[in-house]
Amino acid sequence: MSMSQRPTYFYRSMTAADVPSAHTLSVQLKWPHRLEDWAMLQRIAEGFVVEDQGRLIGTAFTCAQGSYATIGLVIVDDEYQGQGIGRKLMELAIEACGSRTAILNATLAGAPLYASQGFVDFGHIQQHQGQALVPALPELTVGEQCRVLTAADQAELIKLANAGSGLDREAVLNDLFDVVEHAVGIEHDGHLCAFALLRPFGRGRCIGPVIAQNPEQARHLIASLLAQVPDAFVRIDIPSNSGLAPWLEAAGLKQVDTVAQMARGTPPEARGDVRQFALVTQAIG
């Protein structure tokens, strides 16, 4: 009498050599990530893959950022759904967090699995994208001025990004600085208090992170960057409570998706008088 045997899959750490196969997985899901976007995450985060007889069929990442770690790009090939592979990948990703609090941005499909593993909603992220119209520059308040940022500003940007997100952004931003096309900041009486970055990502460009003291500053920074790439396809991921959505819609960046922010513990909080108005990416927060 023959008994059907459950197949044995091989789980291991991701290497740079896995990036092309991992990219193929995301293409099958119609996710927009380029090879370069995968390579960036592979450099700064700890990745995991699962194979079936040498064929890569699933991925997950844990990106340590101070007291927190973001989990992202949890993908299982469509042919292998329903076999507990996503759960096992998540267990590896959570284990890699160590004593850090795990946070993630959950798709509608992924949310039930994450909830069963102790993750709780603490907010929502809206994905906006499209062929941007260049909006009029919103006015700044007296004493504020917008300027182009340079390498000399990088240490200050990291401080602002850490305060606005509640995460340690040093490794993430040091990697991003190499590919940023445009960087703008707002000074108040000579002191840098807000910034935004634009870089290639997915189907075109991505704006993020955006760190500012208020929505008016955030809108001014985003408008300044859109003016640099008037014909580009642009994506921006914003917290749903950011106050930016109607303005982005008017600028041609339509909302196309919403994901849940989830934490396995106390979620991160902004410090000081700045907060994050746009993510780096959904995988990194």
Q: Are residues 119 and 138 in the same domain?
A: no
Which tokens go with 114? 């994450």
Q: Are residues 223 and 173 in the same domain?
A: yes
Please provide residue 243's backbone torsions phi and psi, each rounded to the nearest 5 degrees. Answer: 80, 10
pLDDT attached to residue 31: 85
Kindly report, residue by residue over 169-211, the tens digit of the pLDDT. 999 999 999 999 999 999 998 899 999 999 999 889 999 999 9
Residue ranges in 55-185 assigned as alpha helix (H): 85-97, 111-116, 154-165, 170-176
Q: Are residues 155 and 273 in the same domain?
A: yes
Q: Are residues 153 and 248 in the same domain?
A: yes
Q: Are residues 114 and 141 in the same domain?
A: no
CATH number of domain containing 168:
3.40.630.90
Q: Are residues 138 and 122 in the same domain?
A: no
pLDDT attached to residue 5: 53
Which tokens go with 23? 């990219």
Q: Are residues 35 and 168 in the same domain?
A: no
What predicted TM-score, i.e. pTM, was given to this entire model? Answer: 0.94
- Within a domain: 3: no
Query: Average of pLDDT values for 121-128?
Result: 97
Query: Average of pLDDT values for 18-30?
Result: 93
* 150 to 15, 147, 157: CA distances (angstroms): 32, 10, 10
Kindly report, residue by residue over 69-82, the tens digit of the pLDDT. 999 999 999 999 99
Which tokens go with 81? 């759904």
Gap between the Cα atoms of 244 and 276, Å rounded: 12
Q: Are residues 168 and 106 in the same domain?
A: no
Percent of the chain having pLDDT more than 70? 98
CATH number of domain containing 66:
3.40.630.30
CA 12 to chain centre: 24
Counted domains in the chain: 2
Which helix or strand (DSSP H or E) is residue 76 part of?
Answer: strand 68-76
Q: Are residues 169 and 60 in the same domain?
A: no
Tell me the residue range of the domain where 40 lies: 10-126
* Count of CB atoms situated within 10 Å of the CB of 144: 17
Gap between the Cα atoms of 16 and 9, Å rounded: 20
- Within a domain: 283: no
- Within a domain: 58: yes
- Within a domain: 171: yes
Of 98, 126, 154, the one marking the end of a domain is: 126
Q: Are residues 133 and 228 in the same domain?
A: yes
Q: Are residues 138 and 254 in the same domain?
A: yes
- Within a domain: 166: yes
Chain length of the chain: 285
Gap between the Cα atoms of 279 and 285, Å rounded: 5
Please provide residue 94's backbone torsions phi and psi, each rounded to the nearest 5 degrees. Answer: -65, -40
- DSSP one-letter code for 32: -
- Within a domain: 2: no
Question: In this model, does residue 1 exceed pLDDT 70?
Answer: no
Kindly report, residue by residue over 266-285, the tens digit of the pLDDT. 999 999 999 999 999 999 99
Bridge partners of 124?
260
Q: Are residues 24 and 52 in the same domain?
A: yes
